[in-house]
Amino acid sequence: MNAYDEYMQGIVAPMRKELTDEGFNELRTAEEVNQHMSEAKGTSLVVINSVCGCAAGLARPAVIEATRTVKVAPDHLVTVFAGQDKEATAQMRNYFEDIPPSSPSIAVVKDGQLAYFIPREQIEDHPREHIRDHLVQALEQVTAQ
């Protein structure tokens, strides 16, 4: 590992922990992504994490609040980290092939198929409460199907 990679791992550790402390499973390799997407039954909440300010101040807090308030919790909570776990992130994005790359972003997947997607454009410059409510509504819509 080079000095840059080591430095970045230290920087992003608390950003990873913010989600893993809430029960999110990090998918750090393409193989882990493929395994999850092929085996996970029910609803998966997928967060494409990022080091940017809108991930820190908006996306992660909104996702955490949404998971705590949604009536029917997703069956699986998973995350990939854009710019850090590059292969895992690229592989996850392959499952959303019609969606341009976006980070941070939030996906709701049902039985391995994309059911709902919230891109960065619907996170950045939006109130945290709006993002939370948007995600809760999407989760409730998908889990009701």
**Backbone φ and ψ of 109, nearest 5°:** -115, 135
- Of the residues 12, 15, 51, 54, only one is catalytic, namely 54
Bridge partners of residue 106, in order along the sequence: 47, 118
* Cα–Cα distance for residue pair 136/84, rounded to 1 Å: 27
Active-site position among 45, 47, 48, 52: 52
Between 3-20 and 60-69, two packed helices, what is the crossing angle to 10 degrees?
Answer: 20
Contact 42, 75 (CB under 8 A): yes
Among this protein's residues, is 54 annotated catalytic? Answer: yes
| Active site residues per annotation | 52, 54
